[in-house]
Amino acid sequence: MASWPESPRLIGTSIPRLDGLAKASGRAKYPSDIRPEGLLFGVLLSSPHASAKVKAIDLEPAKTMPGVKAVLALATAGESTIFYQGQEIAAVAAETEEKARDAARAIRVEYEILPHVATERQSAAEGAPKVFPTGNTRAARAQTTGKPDEAMQKADAVIEATYELPVITHVCLEPHGLTAHWKGPDSITVYASTQSVMGVANDMVENLGLESANVTVLTDVMGGGFGSKFNADTWGIAAAKLAKEAGRPVRMFLDRAQEHQLGGNRPSAKAKIKLGAAKDGKLVAMVAETSGTGGRGGSNFPLPYVYKVDDRSRAHTEIFVNGGSARAMRAPGHPQGCAVMEAAMDDLAAKLGINPLAFRLANLAEADMVAGGVNRTDLYKEQVERGAKLIGWDRWKPRGQNGDGPIKRGLGLALHQWGGGGAQDKQVACIINPDGSVELRSATQDIGTGARTILAVIAAEVLGLEVGQIKSNIGNSTFPPGQSSGGSTTTPSMAPPCLDAVEKARDELFKRIAPGLDAKPEDLSLKGGKLLVKGEEKATWAQACRKLGMMPVTATGVFGPGLASTGVGGCQFAEVTVDVETGVVRVKKIVAVQDSGLILDMLTWKSQVYGGVIGGLNYGLFEERIMDEGTGAMLNPDMEMYKLAGATDIPEIVVDAYDTPEMRVRGVIGVGEPPTISTAAAIGNAVANAIGVRVPKWPMSPMNVLDALAAAEGKA
């Protein structure tokens, strides 16, 4: 049975990316760069209205415009209902993008404009227009454990507060889309910007009535997904249909506004929380009423989060609005659950007059067992201790004691958790060629995390080669089934079958060449690019492979027990300054302590944690979808008024890998999501610590900070 090497040469060190040169030189071809001969440009016409009936669509004016090769209706006159601004109406393919845009504009659509609800507030108003015939909300029954109301009576301190996070959008830098190229009447190759080549292939098969064998989806590199790019989507299928009609390849990518409007979003969250504790600092009860909107989709999030409250009730209500549907976004639900829980924890600690760090440690479950018999509470305790040291928590002062001038300084912390386990049904093929080249194949893809590099690290480790000698071929749906890039599952799903495949291929190589060396296969080993017989160098890798004659070695690897695990903790600390005159928050320092089992490549691992933290800083300080209640339109579907951090917003970030021998024996666990969960929560708590007032709404924008200060002074 395969197992990770005990004293690895490469695994766990910092290995540069295999795709670095292509990216730094500008030679990497993204799906939106692919330009097959005869390429046409696809443009999606989307609805300007948030709520409407499509009464008539006239494609004729577009069809006769210069350079237009195909036009397709995506809505049906007299039938289609528009639920959000940006919903798909029609698609055009033309010789140039400008001609396609002109043609899309020429399509005549008659709408019956209906009243809309663009925000949670509008949706909940009395007599509000209905998003669904059944209404604008769906309330779930309260989930109750123990006797929260009774227990709350015994609390020495109770806080009751409402915390809110807005809808945010993914803002992948490469928009959603694909290039569709028919290779014959019933055979298609698709270059998709996707986090699931298999998902897109499946969508093509189902929507176009093609045989699986005739669909190839390729994703060499892609420009970000964050949970929003698992499928071909309406526009991707439209591109394939337009390409068929025109008899030429079609490239169809959303523009930036469409990207915000229909490329997916993270649901909002609102939590009215009553949380009580005894004076010894133990939580006694929680009663929470929560809600959120995912457009027409769900918005639930975990609560309580991390901490143990035996007596609790929680009721969640889905609110529907005329907005684009939510999609999975980096650790779905967790940043929201973490932010509201950690805010309540901090406010209660302040009320009790207890150091918030001690209060948290006092309220972890005694045994929070995760896979492999690991007690996550023990992890948290050590992680919090490490984080506290790195941020300098001994400088922490209670609220209201953090500066006499207008600039206040504050510290905050938050804890998070995630699964990060993998699937057990994925495969990797390993091919060792007689010329010494080594190829790995799987239908997974690199969303930017370094998946390609990580598979090569494993192969190089086993074969005693350098990482650059391994050809890591992923991003092809026709290869052995691979994992979608989501849920922090890619590495734990793909690393075990990769190890298995390479070990099998190595063993087969030994079996085939041993007789020619007058040795037994078990006498052979590989080290430093050499073949060893009983520990003695006998041939170079290339010479050894040449002994294969014309027949390569091929092996397919599958999952093996003990190579991957699931269940991580982690904590983050933030230090901020807040100008109480302007409401401007500056993050000065963030400490992120993160476990994730066996770390395969420390370099790409750290990149993930940095990215997660700064993503969380974005949610904490800047990001917000702003809807216009009057028109139902998104007011900031761009990258100007939809604020994102730039280089000057980045604080000192300390990434501390909780990389202990106990963690390494757990095997591989994914890390894409956990480090983005608690950043916004920690920033919110640091702001409250600085200014002595809870800012109950994210982001920590000047407006929300000043509103909270004004409310505290009774001015709002």
Partner 1 sequence: MGAEAAVRFTVNGEAREVETDPDRTLLDVLREDLGLPGTKYGCGEGQCGACSVLVEGRRMNACRTAVSKVEGRSVVTIEGLAKGDELHPVQRAFLEENAYQCGFCTAGMIVAAVALLEANPAPSDDEIAAGMDRNLCRCCSYPKIVKAVRRAVELTGGGAR
Q: In whole angstroms, how close is the CB of 674 to partner 1 at the nearest point?
A: 15
**Angular region, 400: left φ>0, alpha ψ -120 to 50, beta rest:** left
Contact residue for partner 1 among 80, 618, 689, 701 (CB under 8 A): 618
- The CA distance from 52 to 32, in Å, is 32
Helix (H, G, I), strand (E, B) or coil at 238: helix
Comparison of 539 and 610: residue with beta carbon closer to partner 1: 610
Q: Do the Cβ atoms of 538 and 517 come closer than 8 Å?
A: yes
Q: Of all helices (H) and strands (E), which one includes residue 245?
A: helix 233-246
Contact residue for partner 1 among 1, 26, 134, 661 (CB under 8 A): 26
61 part of the interface to partner 1, by CB under 8 A: no
Find the part of the chain contacting partner 1 (CB under 8 A) among 114-122, 343-351, 402-410, 642-650: 642-650
- Collect all residues with Cβ–Cβ distance below 8 Å to 470 and sequence separation of at least 6: 18, 438, 439, 440, 455, 456, 459, 460, 463
- Cα 53 to the center of its chain, rounded Å: 34
Contact residue for partner 1 among 653, 663, 681, 695 (CB under 8 A): 653
Residues in region 442-471 near partner 1 by CB under 8 A = 447-450
Find the part of the chain contacting partner 1 (CB under 8 A) among 488-496, 576-584, 606-614, 685-693: 606-614
| Tokens matching residue 652 | 């000192």
- The CA distance from 290 to 316, in Å, is 5
Q: Do the Cβ atoms of 498 and 563 come closer than 8 Å?
A: no
- The CA distance from 716 to 714, in Å, is 6
Q: In whole angstroms, how close is the CB of 29 to partner 1 at the nearest point?
A: 7
Q: Do the Cβ atoms of 655 and 599 come closer than 8 Å?
A: no
Comparison of 20 and 400: residue with beta carbon closer to partner 1: 20
Q: What is the side-by-side order of every strand in the sheet holding 470-473?
A: 470-473, 438-441, 428-432, 553-557
Say whether the peptide bond before residue 304 is cis (omega within 30 degrees of 0). Answer: yes
**Angular region, 567: left φ>0, alpha ψ -120 to 50, beta rest:** left
Binding mask 161-180 for partner 1 (x = CB under 8 A): ----------xxxxx-----
Q: Is the dihedral of CA 66, 67, 72, 73 positive or negative?
A: negative
Contact residue for partner 1 among 366, 404, 640, 713 (CB under 8 A): 640
Alpha carbon separation from 377 to 60, 172, 235, 569 (Å, rounded): 65, 35, 46, 8
Q: In whole angstroms, how close is the CB of 23 to partner 1 at the nearest point?
A: 4
φ, ψ for residue 132, nearest 5 deg: -115, 150
Q: In whole angstroms, how close is the CB of 341 to partner 1 at the nearest point?
A: 24
Q: In whole angstroms, how close is the CB of 714 to partner 1 at the nearest point?
A: 38
Contact residue for partner 1 among 52, 238, 613, 681 (CB under 8 A): 613
Comparison of 188 and 617: residue with beta carbon closer to partner 1: 617
27 part of the interface to partner 1, by CB under 8 A: yes
Binding mask 92-111 for partner 1 (x = CB under 8 A): ----xxxx--x---------
Residues in region 360-419 near partner 1 by CB under 8 A = none
DSSP labels, 477-528: TTSSB---S-TT-HHHHHHHHHHHHHHHHHHHHHHHHTGGGTS-GGGEEEET
Q: In whole angstroms, how close is the CB of 570 to partner 1 at the nearest point?
A: 17
Comparison of 544 and 592: residue with beta carbon closer to partner 1: 592
37 part of the interface to partner 1, by CB under 8 A: no
Helix (H, G, I), strand (E, B) or coil at 679: helix
Alpha carbon separation from 328 to 78, 191, 333, 493 (Å, rounded): 32, 22, 9, 19
Find the part of the chain contacting partner 1 (CB under 8 A) among 359-367, 401-409, 643-651, 661-669: 643-651
Instruction: Provide the angle, in degrees to the nearest 10, between the axes of the packed helices 679-691 and 334-352.
Output: 30
Q: Which residues are registered as beta bridge partners of 429?
A: 441, 556
Comparison of 249 and 304: residue with beta carbon closer to partner 1: 249
Find the part of the chain contacting partner 1 (CB under 8 A) among 211-219, 426-434, 624-632, 637-645: 637-645
Q: In whole angstroms, how close is the CB of 20 to partner 1 at the nearest point?
A: 5
Find the part of the chain contacting partner 1 (CB under 8 A) among 340-348, 456-464, 567-575, 639-647: 639-647
First to last CA, the chain: 66
Comparison of 420 and 450: residue with beta carbon closer to partner 1: 450
Q: In whole angstroms, how close is the CB of 327 to partner 1 at the nearest point?
A: 15
Comparison of 179 and 231: residue with beta carbon closer to partner 1: 179
Binding mask 216-235 for partner 1 (x = CB under 8 A): -----xxxx-x---------
Binding mask 497-516 for partner 1 (x = CB under 8 A): --------------------
Residues in region 681-710 near partner 1 by CB under 8 A = none
Comparison of 311 and 656: residue with beta carbon closer to partner 1: 656
Q: In whole angstroms, how close is the CB of 191 to partner 1 at the nearest point?
A: 12
Comparison of 13 and 137: residue with beta carbon closer to partner 1: 13
Q: In whole angstroms, how close is the CB of 342 to partner 1 at the nearest point?
A: 21
φ, ψ for residue 482, nearest 5 deg: -125, 170
By CB under 8 A, the count of residues binding partner 1 is 61
Contact residue for partner 1 among 645, 665, 711, 712 (CB under 8 A): 645
Residues in region 245-284 near partner 1 by CB under 8 A = 253, 255-256
Comparison of 161 and 602: residue with beta carbon closer to partner 1: 602
Find, among 270, 331, 290, the residue nearest to 570 by Cα: 331
In 10 A of CB 554, how many CB atoms? 16
Find, among 491, 428, 28, the residue nearest to 219 by Cα: 28
Comparison of 172 and 269: residue with beta carbon closer to partner 1: 172
Chain position carrying tokens 């976004």? 329
Q: In whole angstroms, how close is the CB of 611 to partner 1 at the nearest point?
A: 4
Find the part of the chain contacting partner 1 (CB under 8 A) among 31-39, 111-119, 368-376, 591-599: 31-39
Find the part of the chain contacting partner 1 (CB under 8 A) among 331-339, 559-567, 607-615, 700-708: 607-615
DSSP labels, 185-206: TTEEEEEE--S-HHHHHHHHHH
Cα-Cα-Cα-Cα torsion 454, 456, 462, 468, nearest 10 degrees, comes to -130
**C-alpha count within 13 angstroms, C-beta hemisphere, residue 521:** 10
List of residues contacting partner 1 (CB under 8 A): 16-17, 19-30, 32-33, 35, 96-99, 102, 171-175, 221-224, 226, 253, 255-256, 447-450, 603-604, 607-608, 610-615, 617-618, 638-640, 644-648, 650, 653
